[in-house]
Amino acid sequence: MYNPVNSIVAIIFGVLMIIAWLPTIFLTEINNKGNRLELNKLKQYLKSSDFKVTPTTITGTIISRYDITYNSTSIKLPDDVINKYIFLYYTSIVETTTRDKDGKNTTKTDSGPNGTTEITEITANGNRVDKKDLEYLARQKQIATKEMQITDTIKIIISYYGIENNAKVCELNSVSITELSKEEYDIEVYGYEYGETKDQAAQSIIENKDASNFVWKWLGRLGTFILLCGGLMALIAPIRDAVNAGITIPGIGFLFTPIKWLVGLYDVASFIIAIILTVLMTIFVYTLVNYPIISMALGGMIVGLTLYLKRHNA
């Protein structure tokens, strides 16, 4: 049922989203610059003599069996995982298929159970390895995937990650762990990294930071696009809601069909305009934040050229 209050609220939110669009781009690019500076500082420290590691190996009891129970069904380890690993970490997704009255199948995907094997005596360099470090190392190496049909409509897909016996790692020096834990690097610090040398351990830390920066950078930029696109679409909420309500009226609903097409065209145009404006403004703000002198010089040239053309045409 059409509710004008909901439409008015949607317009207000749309206006607020559009107003927040430009400041959000600035905040996003400022944050991205900060992340790059953190990465550069991290690289400098990892190359210095202050960063110290001890090459070692991780050893423990080989896992010969580990069953996962889901919906009263026991799921055994894949054959290529048995008797090779000392620690296992797994995640899963559950696919549920339903059929509607027209015979069309719809599949819904949800997160399933996840967990680890029980930790036995797993050591490195004579020291017991914490569960946090074991999970971190395991997550870096996916070793198998297993699908199992639980019922006619439910299927579970399990991804296994593991640590092999005698895996070569580098144990970080306690002083290095303390230094890397400082806020200026903004990274999650673990006691071990895969590798046989200091350089390999350092590269692993850098790749983790770089991957984190990449995710946050593009999530932020995607968020700015959604703000503008969603805001533009929300501006015509009253028209959209009225058309959706009117098209269901018996006898005259067909009269609203052309208007519904126009609303659809407006949504498509909003999507395209939001992409173009977000890309252009992101490029401008990126340049302004990272190369202010160049951006101001270009801005001055554009303003000067505009004034010259106006005067010349006059």
* pLDDT of res. 51: 93
Contact 122, 128 (CB under 8 A): yes
Cα separation, 309 vs 314, in Å, equals 8
* Alpha carbon distances (Å) from 38 to 52, 111, 157, 179, 289: 20, 33, 37, 13, 16
pLDDT in tens, 176-187: 999 999 888 899
Three-class DSSP category at 235: coil
Segment 9-15 shows an average pLDDT of: 90
Domain limits of the chain?
A: 4-34+218-313, 55-172
* pLDDT of res. 96: 92
Segment 52-71 shows an average pLDDT of: 88
* pLDDT of res. 156: 92
- And the tokens for 179? 């230094």
Segment 52-65 shows an average pLDDT of: 90
Cα separation, 178 vs 284, in Å, equals 39
pLDDT above 80 (res 308): no
Segment 263-283 shows an average pLDDT of: 93
pLDDT above 80 (res 245): no
Confidence of residue 252 (pLDDT cuts 50, 70, 90): confident
Verdict on whether the full-model pTM lies above 0.75:
yes
Where b means 16+ CB within 10 Å and e means fewer, 172-188 reads beeebeebbeeeebebe
- Tell me the one-letter amino acid at 193: E
pLDDT in tens, 289-299: 998 887 777 77
Mean pLDDT over each residue of the chain, to the nearest integer: 88
* pLDDT of res. 302: 76
Confidence of residue 58 (pLDDT cuts 50, 70, 90): very high
pLDDT above 80 (res 303): no
Strands (E), 140-284: 142-149, 154-164, 167-172, 192-194
Task: Please list the helix, strand and coil fractions of the chain in percent, rounded to the nearest 5, in that order.
Answer: 55, 20, 25
Confidence of residue 2 (pLDDT cuts 50, 70, 90): low
* pLDDT of res. 84: 87
* pLDDT of res. 113: 86
* pLDDT of res. 314: 58
> Residue 145: which of 133, 132, 162 has the closest Cα?
162
pLDDT in tens, 123-170: 998 889 999 999 999 999 999 999 988 888 899 999 999 999 999 999
Quote the percentage of the chain above a pLDDT of 70.
Answer: 98
pLDDT in tens, 74-132: 888 888 888 889 999 999 999 998 887 777 888 889 988 888 887 778 999 888 999 99
